[in-house]
């Protein structure tokens, strides 16, 4: 599905604000003529945990424009959904006017398992948004009773657990259930543009298609969106992998943003809910990975950006830190879920802030290494090189620490922003015949 350009982008309005859909591709294969660049452009928008970014590329992948917006503060008046909506239309408004007529297709990525439950009759939000790391353990018994053993939905933070928990709650009345439809974060954001219900992508729906088929007669199976033939959205870590433009088995991408996500291109598929490991098909191979709640969010709780730069400069990455931490935010860990030592641990704190930061960076690298070692134990291809995306890719000392701990070459990806990978997805979707 491609989304057509609009001559008017606005930051005002409700969920009924739309960009008109482009339902047909260029008839007859004639070359398109656009104002501004003279060629079609492809827009990718990344909705991360702390803000949103866009990248606008041409068919060669060259960036013509990019920008970012932080989310408006969430409080009594503004919830997460309205904050995302405002950021979306501000970003669209930030695109230079000369490029807007050339936009041929749009793709959006969002955090995996961040979901909303929508009233299909009026577009109102019945429940949520439920963020990616919110857990609903009350739904696990029901989910485990219908899911295959070790399926990826057997986690309290899974999309299905969120839906089942709401379904069984007192707030889910009969009329609400009848009109309810579940949307992932990127589904909902794209719905603000194209206005169609039940449209999703293969990456977000990975964690429930088997249940959707096997449990088609169950009461909530039809609440899930249907797969779209051409991907209009994806998850943030998939987008970061696409941005790295790597295509060989054994190549991996670690996203070091607010959280840590690992993705390894493998000849073998691996899925194991015990460890939060799952696979996406990527052409004729598998993209295997998982995620941890460790990462930049923990660092920001302890240091300012200026402190991180100054203290990192003083670290000798060739010297191992003897400090052993498990840097986690208050919400706890999600990968691997069977680890008995995954409680947050940031003590003892040495007198030296440099030593403290060194210990935290090295401890996060150990969690990353543990993740890749687990993938190998489960049967994936051997990790040969790790590219880095996200804000952590800018820290050269941390890159050197990670290379020593992982025992393989580690380098910054040429393109580190998920928005760039999402733009490449928009490019692929607009130029693929089915």
Question: Looking at residue 273, which CATH number applies to its domain?
Answer: 3.30.420.40
Q: Do 92 and 209 belong together in one domain?
A: yes
pTM, whole model, 2 decimals?
0.71
How many structural domains are present in the chain?
Answer: 2
pLDDT of residue 144: 85
Q: Do 260 and 342 belong together in one domain?
A: yes
Q: Do 193 and 291 belong together in one domain?
A: no
* 205 and 104 Cβ atoms separated by less than 8 Å: no
Beta strands in 120-259 (DSSP E): 125-130, 180-184, 199-200, 226-227, 233-235, 251-256
| Phi, psi of 150, rounded to the nearest 5 degrees | 60, 20
d(CA 136, CA 164): 9
Q: Is residue 272 part of a domain?
A: yes
Q: Do 109 and 217 belong together in one domain?
A: yes
Query: Pairing between strand 41-47 and 103-110?
Result: parallel
Q: Is residue 217 part of a domain?
A: yes
Q: Which residue positions in the chain have pLDDT lower than 70?
A: 1-37, 77, 201-233, 330-342, 432-434
Q: Is 72 exposed, middle or buried (0-12, 13-18, 19+ CB in 10 A)?
A: middle
pLDDT of residue 75: 80
Q: Do 316 and 269 belong together in one domain?
A: yes
Q: Do 150 and 180 belong together in one domain?
A: yes
């Amino acid at each position: 599905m491609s989304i057509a350009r609009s001559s008017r982008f606005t930051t005002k309005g409700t969920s009924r604000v739309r960009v008109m859909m482009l339902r047909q591709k260029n008839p007859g294969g004639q070359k398109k003529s656009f104002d501004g660049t003279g060629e079609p452009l492809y827009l990718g928008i990344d909705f991360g945990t702390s803000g949103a970014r866009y990248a606008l590329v041409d068919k060669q992948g060259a960036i013509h424009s990019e920008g970012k917006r932080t989310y408006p503060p969430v409080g009594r008046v503004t919830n997460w959904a309205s904050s995302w909506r405002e950021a979306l239309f501000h970003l669209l408004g930030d695109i230079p006017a000369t490029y807007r007529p050339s936009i041929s297709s749009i793709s959006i990525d969002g955090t995996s398992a961040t979901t909303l439950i929508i009233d299909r009759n009026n577009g109102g939000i019945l429940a949520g948004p439920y963020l990616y790391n919110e857990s609903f353990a009350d739904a696990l018994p029901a989910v485990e009773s219908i899911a295959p053993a070790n399926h990826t939905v057997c986690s309290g933070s899974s999309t299905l657990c969120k839906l089942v928990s709401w379904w069984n709650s007192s707030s889910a009345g009969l009329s609400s259930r009848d009109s309810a439809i579940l949307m992932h974060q990127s589904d909902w954001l794209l719905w603000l543009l194209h206005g169609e219900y039940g449209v999703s992508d293969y990456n977000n729906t990975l964690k429930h298609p088997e249940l959707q088929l096997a449990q088609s007669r169950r009461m909530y199976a039809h609440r899930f969106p249907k797969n779209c033939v051409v991907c209009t959205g994806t998850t943030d870590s998939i987008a970061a992998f696409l941005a790295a433009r790597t295509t060989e088995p054994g190549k991996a991408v670690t996203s070091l943003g607010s959280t840590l996500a690992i993705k390894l291109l493998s000849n073998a598929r691996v899925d194991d809910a015990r460890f939060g490991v799952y696979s996406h098909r990527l052409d004729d191979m598998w993209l295997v990975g998982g995620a941890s709640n460790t990462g930049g969010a923990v660092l920001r709780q302890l240091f300012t950006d200026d402190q991180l730069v100054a203290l990192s400069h003083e670290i000798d990455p060739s010297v191992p830190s003897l400090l052993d931490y498990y840097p986690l935010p208050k919400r706890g860990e999600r990968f691997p879920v069977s680890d008995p030592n995954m409680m947050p641990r940031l003590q003892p704190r040495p007198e030296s802030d440099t030593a403290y930061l060194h210990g935290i960076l090295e401890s996060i690298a150990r969690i990353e290494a543990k993740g890749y070692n687990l993938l190998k134990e489960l049967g994936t291809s051997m990790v040969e090189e790790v590219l880095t995306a996200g804000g952590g890719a800018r820290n050269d000392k941390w890159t050197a620490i990670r290379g020593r701990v992982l025992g393989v070459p580690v380098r910054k990806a040429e393109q580190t922003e998920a928005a760039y990978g999402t733009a490449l997805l928009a490019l692929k979707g607009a130029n693929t015949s089915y």
